[in-house]
Amino acid sequence: MNNQIREFEKQCWSHRVDNTLIDGQLHFDTQKFARLIVQECARLVRNRSEFITQQARLYADDYDEEVWARATAWQFKIFEQEVKQHFGVEA
């Protein structure tokens, strides 16, 4: 895993659960950790979809359904690799 995951992990450790102090013990908030990862994935998806939309606008005059379908599939394959790389997960 990479620094992004480590940063999320740091944000999830605290001495409190539901704003209640726990006898000085650290608590890891797994729900917050999951939420941070999902939010980051959603951000990546939003950015990729904006790129694909921009590409569609650029080439709208040359639209060919089959070519567009292959290009979109290719974009999502690249995106899959980008998400794995972003989080430092081996392909």
Cα separation, 12 vs 27, in Å, equals 8
**Enclosing domain of residue 14:** 3-87
Report the predicted TM-score, pTM, of the whole model to 2 decimal places. 0.66
Q: What is the pLDDT of residue 62?
A: 65
The count of structural domains within the chain is 1
Helix, strand, coil content of the chain in percent (nearest 5): 70, 10, 20
pLDDT tens-digit readout, 45-78: 888 888 777 776 676 666 677 777 777 778 888 8
